């Protein structure tokens, strides 16, 4: 990994370069995982690719794969350490999804049955005709 793929003004790139301290969970040539200092649950880990791109839409596929492989490693460590009832793997893209740092990253969030977190949604049956039409449209844009 070289600094050629990092951005001078990105807080996560600065953490990767060691300019800002963090509580490391894992690090290899491709990813850095560290504790979120604004956790939504105890054990909340952030996994960042060591390649700066603002979101999953702009990230080369090989770096997306590396970020999610790192998230899997972090999730297994969180499970072994905390034995939560479940783990959410979250990745946000753009302001509408509440992305706050514009560098590809994955949240690993331990969950308990009654933790009160509201990121889940109820099941409401959709319109099958509309779902089918959207599926055709989206499939036509797969690269």
Contact 50, 61 (CB under 8 A): no
Q: Which residues are catalytic?
A: 105
What range does the domain containing 11 cover? 3-140
Given this model, what pLDDT does residue 32 score?
97
Given this model, what pLDDT does residue 4 score?
59
For the chain, what is the HEC assignment? CCHHHCCCCCHHHHHHCCCCCCCEEEECCCEEEEECCCCCCCCCEEEEECCCCCCCCCCCHHHHHHHHHHHHHHHHHHHHHHCCCEEEEECCCCHHHCCCCCCCEEEEEEECCCCCCCCCCCCCCCCHHHHHHHHHHHHHCCC
Q: What is the CATH number of the domain that holds 49?
A: 3.30.428.10
**CA gap 53, 11 in Å, rounded:** 12
Q: What is the dihedral of CA 107, 111, 114, 119, to 10 degrees?
A: 20
Given this model, what pLDDT does residue 1 score?
45
The count of structural domains within the chain is: 1
**Per-residue confidence in pLDDT tens, the chain, 143 aa:** 445 588 999 999 999 999 999 999 999 999 999 999 999 999 999 999 999 999 999 999 999 999 999 999 999 999 999 999 999 999 999 999 999 999 999 999 999 999 988 877 778 889 899 999 999 999 999 88
């Amino acid at each position: 990994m070289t600094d050629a793929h990092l951005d001078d003004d990105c807080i996560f790139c600065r953490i990767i370069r060691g300019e800002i301290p963090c509580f490391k969970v894992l690090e290899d040539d491709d990813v850095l995982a560290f504790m979120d200092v604004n956790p939504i649950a105890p054990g909340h880990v952030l996994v960042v690719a060591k390649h700066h791109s603002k979101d999953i839409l702009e990230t080369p596929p090989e770096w997306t794969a590396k970020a999610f492989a790192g998230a899997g490693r972090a999730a297994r460590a969180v499970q072994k350490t905390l034995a939560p009832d479940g783990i959410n793997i979250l990745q946000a893209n753009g302001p509408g999804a509440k992305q706050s740092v514009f560098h590809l990253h994955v949240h690993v969030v331990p969950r308990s049955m009654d933790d009160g977190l509201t990121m889940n949604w109820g099941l409401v049956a959709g319109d099958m005709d509309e779902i089918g039409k959207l599926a055709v449209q989206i499939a036509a844009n797969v690269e």
